Chain A
Amino acid sequence: MGVEGIGARVVRKEDKRFITGKGRYVDDIKLVGMTHAHFIRSPHAHAKVKKIDSSAALKMPGVVAVLTGQQLVDDKVGNLICGWAITSKDGSPMKMGAWPAMAPETVRFVGQAVAVVIADSKNLARDAAEAVVVDYEELPAVADVHAAIKSGAPQLHPEAPGNQVYDWVIGDEGATDAAFAKAANVVKLDVTNNRLAPNAMEPRAAIADYDAAEEHFTLYTTSQNPHVARLVLSAFYNIAPEHKLRVIAPDVGGGFGSKIFIYPEEMVALWASKKVGRPVKWTGDRTEAFLTDAHGRDHVTHAEMAFDANNKITGLKVKTYANFGAYMSLFSSSVPTYLYATLLSGQYNIPAIHAEVIGVYTNTTPVDAYRGAGRPEASYLIERLMETAARQLKVDPAALRRTNFITQFPHQTPVIMAYDTGDFNASLDAAMKAIDYAGFAARKAQAKSQGKLRGIGVSCYIEACGIAPSKAVGSLGAGVGLWESAEVRVNPVGTIEILTGSHSHGQGHETTFCQLVADRLGVPISQVSIVHGDTDKVQFGMGTYGSRSAAVGLTAILKAMEKMESKAKKIAAHALEASEADIVIENGEFKVTGTDKAIAFPMVALAAYTAHNLPDGMEPGLKESAFYDPSNFTFPAGTYICELEVDPGTGKTSFVNFVAADDFGRLINPMIVEGQVHGGLVQGIGQALLEHAIYDANGQPVTASFMDYAMPRADDVPSFNLSHTTTLCPGNPLGIKGCGEAGAIGASAAVINAITDAIGKNNLEMPATPDRVWRTIHAA
C-alpha cells in the first residue's frame, strides 16, 4: 500500500470546498431570469379536490403562473411509477393506484401537492400561495396498517381493494410447519419497526431550465442517481426524450435513500419551466421534507422461531404488514420483500423459513428505501428473536448465536440468498473482547449497588449489498439492471479523469476512487479527478445506494483501468523496444522488468496523443470504458454490542460502551469506512431511542419539524469502539463488501436487547423513550 493507495487513511480531497463554504449545492445555484416555485399542499389526509381558485393569486405582484394537477393531465404528463413488480401468492400482480405529480381529483396524504405557484421570488410565491383557495371535501382517512385492512376501513384506491397492494410469500411453508410440529421449543415475538423520516440535512431542491431553441431541458437536482432520474423522467413521464434532458446532481447534502426517488417536485419544475419560459427553482423546507421525502421502515411483524432440544434453530415463520403510505414510491415494493425477507436467515443455519408480507396502503407519506432498506427490519427481527430465545431457553445470548452460526461457505439459505463468505465467530469474538463481555456480570452488580440497571445487548447482523446482479434482480421483478459504468480518460499530459456512474453525497468517492488509481499507477491522487453527477459528462450509471459504490462502481473503474493499462503497456513496450509482457507499472513509470529501462506515465500518455510512434494499427488516444455487472450480492456482516445503564427512576438510558466489529472485506480508506459506520450506528441508535414519524388516527402528521421529531444530537449518543475482521469478498476482484448501511442495520437491536436486559422485561417497542422505558419497568 502506498501513502495514497488502497488501505491508506487519506484525508479527503473534497473537504477543502466544504470546510471553506465553497460547496455547490442545488440551492446555491442561480440562473438568469429564474422564477421560484411554491407548492400548495393538502392539509387533509384524504379529500376530494373540488375546486382550485387562483384568480386572486394571479393578480398579485410578481406572480408568473399558478399550475394545477388538471393541467398536468391535459399535457399528458405521466404518473409516478413504481419500478419493481411484485407478484402476490395467488399469482396476481401487485395492485396499485395512480400517483399524479399534483392531484387533480383526490389527495391521499397530508402534504400531497395540488397546485404550484410560480413567481419572481420565493417570498412572492409563498405570499401568492396563501391567496389560492382550494375547496376540499374531506374523506375518512386511515393511517395504521391494522386499521387499514379491517373491513369497512376507508379505501384509498379502487384498484387495491381492502387497501392491499400485495400478499407475497417466500420459503417453504410445508417444511417450516413440519419443523414447528417437531420443535422442542418455540419462541414467539411481536415487533413494530417504527416509521422514520430520513432527514438528510440538505432539503430536496430542483432547478429546471428549458431552452426553447434547442427544445432541451437542464435539471439540477438533489439526486443520488441522476441517470436513473433522466431515464424515468424521459421514459415514463413524457417530459423530454433522454437526449434532450441533462440532469445534474452537484454537491448533494446527504441522501440515505431518500434522494434515490424521482419526486413530483422535479417533474413539475421541468414541466413548468417550459410552460412559463423561464428557469424554475424549488427548494423544499424542512416541513416539506417531513411531508414528502419517502419515509422508511414501518413494519408490524409476528414471528416464531422453532428450536430443537440442542438449541439449534429448526424453523422460522414470519408475517409482516408493511405500511406503504398513500402511493407506491419508486422502489417501495422491493423493500419489504426482496430486501427484507431474503435476509431473514441472519447469520444462522435455519433449515426452513416461511415469510408472508402484506403491503398496505394508508393515508400517510409514501414509504421507500431508507439506509438499509428492509435489511434493518430483518436484522432487528432476527436479533430480537435470538435474544428472546436466549432468555426463554436460559442460555447466554452470545453462546446461542454461536451454536447456530453458519460456518461453512458458500451457504445457500432457504430464502434465495447464497452467502459467499464470512467468519461470524471472528466478529463476535472481536466485539466480546472489545467490550469485556466476561466482565459484564461484575459491572452489572456494581451498577446495581448504585441504583442503576445495567444491560448488555448483542446484535449479529448480515446484509446483502453491492446491489446487484442485473439478471438476478430482473428475474425478481426489478425494472432496471444494477450494473455500474466507468470511463478512464488519460489526458496528453498524463493527468487522469475518472468518470463514474456512482454519485457521492458524503461518501468521499473523490478520494477513495482516486486511491485505486494511485495504487495501480503510483501517481499522486492530486493528478486524478473524479467526474460524476452529470448526465452530459458520464454516459450512464445507476447511482449510489445499497452500499454499492465501492463493490460495483469501483470495480467498474478497475475494469476500465485494466483496459487503459493494457493499451498503455503496448505503447510503452513499443517505445522501449521491449516485449509487452515484460512491462511493469511502478511509481508512475512503465519499466522493463529486470532492466533500468523505463518511461514515465505522462510520456506514455503524450505518445498516445501525438501518435508519432505508436504500434502499427493502434488507434491514437488513451481512454477506456467499462460496464461491470456483479455476479452476486456481497454480504457484509458483523457484531455490535451495546452496554448501557437505565435509571429506574426516570427511564433514561445512558450509554456505557458501544463496540462494533465489522467484516466489510477489503477497505479502501479505513478513515472513511469508520465514518460511514459511525453515521450508520447513530441512525440505528436514533431509531432505537429517539426517532418516530407519528400520525394520528386521521392521518395528520404529528412530527413534521425538528421541534417534534427527535433527531439524534451529539449528547444523545456515545463515541464508538470500532474494529474490523476481514474475509475478502470472492465476488469482485477487489474483495470489497460495502460499508454504507451496516451501522443502521445492526445498531437498533443491540440497543433494545441491552435495555430489555437491563430492565428484565423482554417486550419494549422502539423508540425506547424514557417515558416508554419507565412505563415498561413499572408495568404490572
Chain B
Amino acid sequence: MKRIRLDAIAFIVILGGLGLANLLNFNKPTVSTLENRMLKDRPSLTWSTLFSGDYFRDYEDYYSDTFINRDSIVKICRDIKDSLSLNEPGVTLVVAREQNAPVNEAPDTVPAPDGQIPSPATPAPSQDPGNLPGTQEPPDNEHTSEPVPTTTPAPEPPREFGEDETVAYYLIVDGKAVQLFKFNRESMDYYAEVLNKYHEALGDKVTLYSVIPPTNGEFVRLRKYADITDSQNDAILYLNSRLNPEIITVDVYDALNRHKDEYIYFKTDHHWTALGAYYGYRAFMEATGREPVPLDRYETVKVDGYLGSSYTKTLNKELEKNPDTIYLYLPFTDHEYTMYNGNKAETADLIDMSYAEGSSDKYLIFMSTGGATWSVIKTDVHNGKKVLVMKDSFGNAWVPFLLPHYEEIYVVDARFYSKSSTGLNIPQFIEKYGIQELVFLFYMEDVNWAKFMNGVENHLK
C-alpha cells in the first residue's frame, strides 16, 4: 500500500473543510430558533478568563453552538436516535438536559439569558438579558437568572439556585409531552415550611392562599405507562397536611380533573393553557367565596403554530407535527399594567400580541413575558381590594382572570424579584402597598424543587 487510504483522505478533507467553513462563516447565528435559546457569544479574552480556563471552556461552547448548519445536524441526530427505538409508535422517553448552561459562570457576571429568545418586539434593553422571563421552569433550567436591574449592575449576592445536575424526563405519548413527576418529600416539606414562615411573618392581617397547578402528567392518558409518574394529587394532599391550617389551600387539582378532556394543557409545552388557567381561577374564586366570571364574557383570540418548551427540550417529531394553538381571553376590565425592571417602569399589554409573531416563545404573550422585577395592574374596579400574586410562569396565564375582582393586583415572579431594586422584602412590600391577600402560585415542579423555594424564602429576609 503506497498511497494514502480513502478514510485518511476523507478525514483530512472533512475536518479541514469544516474548520475552514466555520472560519469563513462570518454571519454566525446568535440564536437557535430550533431550541429557542440564545447561543453562546464569542467569549472575550481577558487575563482572568484566560487564567481561570473560562475562556477556553466558553470558546468550545461558542464553537459548537455556532457550528455551521448546526440546527439541521441536531435534527439529523434526533432522527437517527428515533429510528433505533423499538417502542410502539408514538411512545418515547426523552432525557432532556439544559443546553445553554455555561460551565463555570463567575457569580458577578451578568447571567446568561434564561433560555429565551427575545422577540424583536421585546422592549427589554439589550444590556439586560437576565430579565428575560422564564417560561422554562427551574427543574429543567440549570441557572435561573438573577434579576438584573436595568440601571444598576447586579449588586445582589447570588442566590443558591440551580447548580445541581438538571435532567428532566419527558414521556411523549400520542403527540403530547408529559414531564415526569418524581415526588420528593424533603422538597414538599420545605414548601410547607416556607409558606408557614410567610404566615408567621405576616400574621392575621394578610390572607394566604396556596395554589398549586399540577403538570399535565396527571391528566394525559399515558396508556399502560401510568405508573411512570408519581401522583401529584397525593403530593398536594400531603402538602395540605403540612401547611398551617390558616393558609387557604385552593383545590386546583380537582377543578382541572373535572375538565381533563378539554384543552387545558399544551401538548408541546409544559404550561397550562388559558383555559386550564381559567379553571384554576374558578377554583380560586370558590375558595375565596366569590362569584367567577363566566368564560363567555371574554372575547377570544387564536394563535396557531405554537411549539413550546417540551418540544424545544425534546425536539420530538410527534410534537413537531402537532403544534399547539393558543387561545387568549382578552380582559374586558379597564386596567393599566405596569412592569418595573429595576427602577424603570414601563406600561405593557397583559395580552401582548407582539410575542405572537416570529420565532419567539409564544407563551410570552401572557403578561408580556411576566418577567419584571415586579409589576402591578390597576383596574377600574374600585373595591379597595389588593392582592399580591407570587408566581412562576404558570401565573402569567392565570393572573389576567383576576382583573374583575381587585382594584390593584401586584405580581412578583419568585425568580426575578429583587430586594436590591425595591429596597423591600415581601412583608415590607405588602405593608407599603396595603395588600390584604397573598397568593402563592407555583406549579408542581417548582414546589418540588427546593432551590426554587429557597428563592421564595429569601424574599422574606
Whether both chains belong to one complex is answered with no
Binding site for A on B (CB under 8 A): none
